[in-house]
Amino acid sequence: MPEAAFFTCQQHAPEFFWKPDYQRHANGARAVVEVVMLANDPAGLAEFFGKLIEPAAVSRSEGALKVALGQGALSVLDGTRLAQRFPGIRLRDILRKPHFAGYSIAVDDLDAAEDVLKRNEIPAARAGDRLQIAADHSFGAVIELTTHRP
């Protein structure tokens, strides 16, 4: 996967990072709850993720692979599922190699988050209980704000 990188790290001095002042944002963001990848064959990546995490954390469905990660998940979707997940995404502009296509961030109040985006002139579209910032406005990956937590 030349367009994606994975790593782990250990914090030896978390008191310098986990500070309440660093964990507040005007849009109410609280946590990354899902990272979404595009791959032509999501099931073909099951063994890789099973070795990276553990096999029991990986589940498959048609055109999709889900990797459970603590409080969140990594979803690997084929083009059809990605278009369903992020309505309006322009698949013709997307690389076909496995790569990160978007992520979902839990917020406390979607209306308040939408207000912050509008005040900052960041275009976003509602998709049910989610607010999505298109990839061309967010450095190539869809940013989704939601009150839904897995």
3-state secondary structure string, 88-104? CCCHHHCCCCCEEEEEE
The first and second tokens of residue 37, run together, are: 């990848």
CATH number of 27-146: 3.10.180.10
pLDDT in tens, 75-104: 999 999 998 988 877 766 565 678 889 999
Cα distances from 114 to residues 59, 80, 87, 148, in angstroms, run: 33, 27, 18, 15
pLDDT in tens, 12-38: 888 887 888 877 888 888 889 999 999
Residue % of the chain over a pLDDT of 90: 49
pTM score: 0.85
CB 135 within 8 A of CB 141: yes
- Kindly list the domain boundaries of the chain, sorted by start residue: 27-146
pLDDT in tens, 97-144: 788 899 999 999 999 999 999 999 999 999 778 999 988 888 888 999
